[in-house]
Structure 1
Amino acid sequence: EKKAAAIAAEEAIARNWDFMGSLFFATTVLTTIGYGDYVPLTTVSRIVIAVITIPAVGVFAFALSQLSGTLVHLPIISWTNRARRRTLESHRDILEQWWENQLERFGDGDNSLSIKQTEELWCHAMESLGETVTPVVHAEARMVFKMCDVNHDGRIDTSEAPLVLKALMERRDFLRQHDEANHHTLWVVVLFVVWIFVFSAVFYLIEPLWSYLDAIYFCVITMSTVGLGDLTPTDGNTASMVCWYLFIFGGLGLAILVGNTISASLSALDESIDVVHRTMERNSSIIPSPSRHPSFS
């Protein structure tokens, strides 16, 4: 029995360091999964692993992030760019319509409007261009108008109107980016969950000793990079190894995309909150001339 165990150990060592075993080991190191079934056994190999692991993991994560963003996110980017152009055109239409209404009002000899009047005029311009006006839109406009009232007289005049337009346009653009990022996050999360369940079914079919629950457990533990090592792809099962590589690289790419889209959503939301404050800090000391017409390009 001892001789048989020794032979099995020697075979395992030899198998670990053939090309496929080495590739599998390198992948588990780079992805930080580390099942523990393939390990370095010599002092030199352990030193090499200790030296290169941290920089290698960082480079791999960056490369995977770039690749997954290019391959998976490309259709979303194309759709987003078209939507963004339509959004900006819509914003310019709304702002120009609002400005024309302001000029008509000012043309009667009145140089200012109350904040409530300006809010109503803004919402009317949005409605006339097919935009949905909700209580949130009213509250948003009221907040921006109050903050852009640099004279603190409760009214918006022709000198303050360009500042209001700029703040509203930037804020609405960031809010739209926030909504788009939330939409992308939802789809990527759904795709990520489907990815896990589909590959769980695949592993269930090609791993003869696994139940479907085992396969789900393996996929979740692997994708979380916990890698407990109690379940691993069967040595010599080519189909299982090929599916494992596909599952790992595709799944980790999706996981990174989930993080990126959530980060983009939170960043856009923060920008939408900060834009009015930044605009005021930048322009509070510069009141545009009443005769100056703002640029919407």
Structure 2
Amino acid sequence: MAEGFCSKVTAILRKLYKGLKSLTGLIILLVLYNIIGAVIFVELEAPYEKKMVIKEKPEHKELIRLLTNVAVALNSSEFEILRNKTFDLINQYDIEAVEGKSEGTWDFWKALFFCATIYTTIGYGNIYPKTDAGKVAAIFYAVFGIPLAMKVLAVLGKKLMIILKFFYLLVKRCFKCKGRNNNRYTVRDKQTNNVDSVELSEIDKSDIKIEQGNKEERIKKEIENKLPIAVPIIILIIYIFLGAIMYTLWEDWGYLDAFYFVFISVSTIGFGDITPVHTKFFIVSSIYVFIGLALVSMCINVLIDFYIMSIKLAVHQMDVVKSTVKKGCRCGSRRQSI
């Protein structure tokens, strides 16, 4: 019984591990990690923030009382304008202070956004832990969250590269087929002695099979079929421009500020001088920035793929040169022996 139970548990764990290794499993794991982190930081930081608000209230009331007494003391007619302005400033300060403290920094959505800035290594700095427990939690959260996020971004970047390459080659073949519609060859079938109309692409396939023995031509062919570096970079630039338009609609920003924020976020610089204000858009901002980081990862994968093929071609050419030099040395030694 015990052995059967252990085998079942092992089988379940293997299936779970296999599922988590997939892109879907990694994304689900990252989302759960984000939610758990948000709950932890709200529980750690929100009570401390409330205590700080309570501590600041007596000082706030004392300042209001002092300014009120000063304003009342100005009874002469020549200070009437100054007294009225002082009362207006007191009322404005009181309202702004109460509204600012009532909103609070650590709600669930802001905590989600804060967790996203940790594992993406952006770190705007507008939200940060103030308690010792929160600082320790942020350290451990980053230690496990950053590798998980980097793994998800790497896998997602490869998947996006494969999808983009598929559509690029599909469009490329469509354009080639349009140019070959008028170029047809006739080939006689040996078995039926019938003359069939054959597309030029079929002859190209046979030519490719013949040329498979030539390693250099095959590598060059692979390089031609690689996704150009400019394609993912252009897509990333378009994504940033569209994101800037999106933020001008959400926030009270000009287009330059919105573009600046998107670029600083996607490049993981994260100065924190400009950050979103509306809480309801925080989760969408996190998703947008994460997709932008995935596009950056896709660009990096395309660059790596291109350089790998270039290195293969260079190594092959070096091998050809070495073999040519060796043959020359052998021929020279034979002539000397004759």
User: Match for 2:258 among 195, 209, 215?
Assistant: 215
1:62-105 superposed Cα distances (whole Å, 9 cap, x missing partner): 11221243256325247659989x99984752674x8xxxxxxx
Distance change >3 Å, CA 87–CA 233, structure 1 → 2: farther
User: Match for 2:123 among 34, 41, 54?
Assistant: 34
TM-score with structure 2 setting the length: 0.52
Q: Shift of residue 262 of structure 1? A: 0.7
Q: Shift of residue 257 of structure 1? A: 0.6
Equivalent residue runs for 1:240-255 within 5 Å: 240-255=281-296
Q: What residue is the counterpart of 2:221 in the other structure?
A: 176
Alignment gaps of 5+ in structure 1:
99-164, 286-297
Q: Shift of residue 220 of structure 1? A: 1.1
Q: What residue is the counterpart of 2:13 in the other structure?
A: none
Q: What residue is the counterpart of 2:303 in the other structure?
A: 262
Q: What residue is the counterpart of 1:229 in the other structure?
A: 272
Alignment gaps of 5+ in structure 2:
1-56, 61-93, 174-199, 327-338
User: Match for 2:151 among 58, 62, 72?
Assistant: 62
Higher relative contact order (CA 8 A, sep 6+): 1
Aligned: 1:93 with 2:207? yes
Q: Distance in 2 between matches of 1:207 and 1:190?
A: 26
Q: Shift of residue 211 of structure 1? A: 0.8
1:188-217 superposed Cα distances (whole Å, 9 cap, x missing partner): 100100000111011112212x11111111
- Would the aligned equivalents of 2:165 and 2:226 in 1 still touch at CA under 8 Å? no
Equivalent residue runs for 1:1-297 within 5 Å: 2-3=59-60, 11=102, 14-16=104-106, 18-71=107-160, 73-77=162-166, 80=169, 90=204, 93=207, 96=210, 166=213, 168=214, 170-183=215-228, 185-208=229-252, 210-236=253-279, 238=280, 240-277=281-318
Number of residue-to-residue matches in the alignment: 208
Would you identify which runs of 4 or more consecutive aligned residues in structure 1 move more than 3 Å?
Answer: 4-12, 77-84, 86-92, 179-182, 276-282
Aligned-residue CA RMSD (Å)? 3.6
Distance change >3 Å, CA 186–CA 41, structure 1 → 2: same
TM-score with structure 1 setting the length: 0.59
Q: Shift of residue 46 of structure 1? A: 1.1
Q: Which amino acid aligns with 1:201?
A: I
